[in-house]
Amino acid sequence: IMTVAVLSCGAALLTSAKADSPREDQTRYGLASGNGPLNTLLIHGQPTTPKIAGNSALFVQKIAESGNTDVVLLTSVGGQACD
């Protein structure tokens, strides 16, 4: 349990400043945005490979940096309604 608490505190210290939109956040490699065509993820204006897409919306939040890696949390909102 202590390890999880330490990792959580470390991640909180590395959280980036929020972008203007909840669908975007700044990384060291450019702006991560869920505003691409059909709610696709864009990094520095370019689509990712493989393609990552949300249903009705894709929200992006940078949560940590580790070495040369930026960790982001993606939230896909929406989907098909059930009867």
- pLDDT confidence tier of residue 8, bands split at 50, 70 and 90: very low
Answer yes or no: is pLDDT of 3 > 70: no
Cα–Cα distances (Å) from 55 to 38, 39, 75, in that order, read: 8, 7, 10
Compute the CA torsion angle 49, 35, 29, 27 (nearest 10 deg).
Answer: -130
pTM (2 d.p.) = 0.70
Query: Over the stretch 23-40, which tens digit does the pLDDT of each residue have?
Result: 999 999 999 999 999 999
